[in-house]
Each structure stands twice: as C-alpha cells, then as structure tokens.
C-alpha cells in the first residue's frame, strides 16, 4: 500500500516535471515573426484603422479602394501623390514616434475629418 502511494506520488511528480518542461520549451520557441508590413485601407472618406500601431522598421501601405485621396503627413515626414482607386502608397517608419497624417481633399492637419495616425514603437 505504502509502495503504491509512493509510486503514485512519483508518477504525479513526473507528470508535473514533464508539463513544466513542455511549457518551458514552448516558451523557447522563436517568437512569431513580427510583421514588417502593415496596411491602412483608404476609402470614402476615411483611413482604416484610423490609428495604427507598428514597430519601428515597418513599412505601412495605404491601399485606396475608392475615390481620390492623399496620404499627407502633418509634419512633412511623408506625402503621397493623389491616389486614385486601386492605387497605393507605402512609407517605411524607422523611428519610434507619432506620425499624424491626413487627406488634403477631405481632411486637415491635427486629425480633422479624413485623417489618421501611425504610432511607431521601438
């Protein structure tokens, strides 16, 4: 009886160890690759998502679905040509920071109307 109890205890302990090992090992798996590309959808008349958070080094592509729009930085950090439906514009964000932008046709600096923000983290 005593031996059986002991065996059960050892078995339980072994199970615990195995579980911990599996958990520990899964924690060592290479982290899922962080996307180095992100997308903003442009339509009449909004940027979606309005606020997009990405890591430094990410290239953001604005895809225009309809109408004519621009992607114009409040600070002049980037500026697209006028985008017609089906056209897109990309900009790579190397430095952490907050990058507000707007559409020159339907919005204005400071996040008014058709506008958005790219938040870049380290």
Would you tell me which residues interact with Cu ion (CB under 5 A)? 69, 103, 105-106, 114
Q: State the nearest-atom distance from the C-beta of 76 to Cu ion, in Å.
A: 18
* 45/77 with CB nearer Cu ion: 45
Taking the C-alpha atoms of residue 118 and residue 51, their distance in angstroms, rounded to an integer, is 6
Q: State the nearest-atom distance from the C-beta of 77 to Cu ion, in Å.
A: 18
Task: Label the pairing between strands 46-48 and 51-55.
Answer: unpaired
Q: State the nearest-atom distance from the C-beta of 23 to Cu ion, in Å.
A: 49
* 54/103 with CB nearer Cu ion: 103
Taking the C-alpha atoms of residue 111 and residue 95, their distance in angstroms, rounded to an integer, is 21
Contact 50, 20 (CB under 8 A): no
């Amino acid at each position: 009886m005593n031996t059986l109890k002991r065996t059960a205890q050892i078995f339980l302990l072994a199970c615990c160890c195995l579980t911990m090992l599996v958990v520990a090992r899964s924690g060592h798996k290479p982290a899922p690759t962080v996307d180095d590309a992100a997308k903003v959808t442009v339509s009449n008349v909004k940027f979606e998502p309005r606020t997009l958070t990405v890591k430094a080094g990410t290239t953001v592509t604005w895809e225009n679905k309809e109408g004519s729009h621009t992607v114009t930085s409040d600070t002049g950090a980037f500026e697209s040509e006028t985008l017609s439906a089906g056209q897109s514009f990309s900009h790579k964000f190397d430095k952490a920071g907050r990058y507000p932008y707007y559409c020159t046709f339907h919005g204005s600096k400071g996040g008014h109307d058709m506008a958005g923000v790219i938040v870049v983290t380290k």
